[in-house]
Amino acid sequence: MDIRIGIVNSPRELNFESSQTAAEIEKIVADALASDAKFIKLADDKGKLYIVPTASFGYLEVGSEESRRVGFVA
């Protein structure tokens, strides 16, 4: 799952791949925003942990669950 997180007042965004499903990511973010949590924690495929303060959270884009195809298609 490809994840992109936009940060307020920052020209760059966080971009990483996670083994979590779209539903799991949506629940984590929705619960954090609904409960006025101070930050959102998400992990990538390699074990890195991303902690984003909810005050600077701009947007979340969750990509498709399909694996990318490599090579030429005839």
Domain ranges of the chain: 2-62
> pLDDT tens across 6-46, in order?
999 989 999 999 888 889 999 999 999 999 899 999 999 89
The whole model's pTM is what? 0.74
Q: Is the pLDDT of residue 71 over 90?
A: no
- pLDDT, average across residues 41-66: 87
Instruction: Write the burial class of residue 18 (CB in 10 Å: 0-12 exposed, 13-18 middle, 19+ buried).
Output: buried
Say what the pLDDT of residue 38 is. 94
Q: Is the pLDDT of residue 64 over 90?
A: no
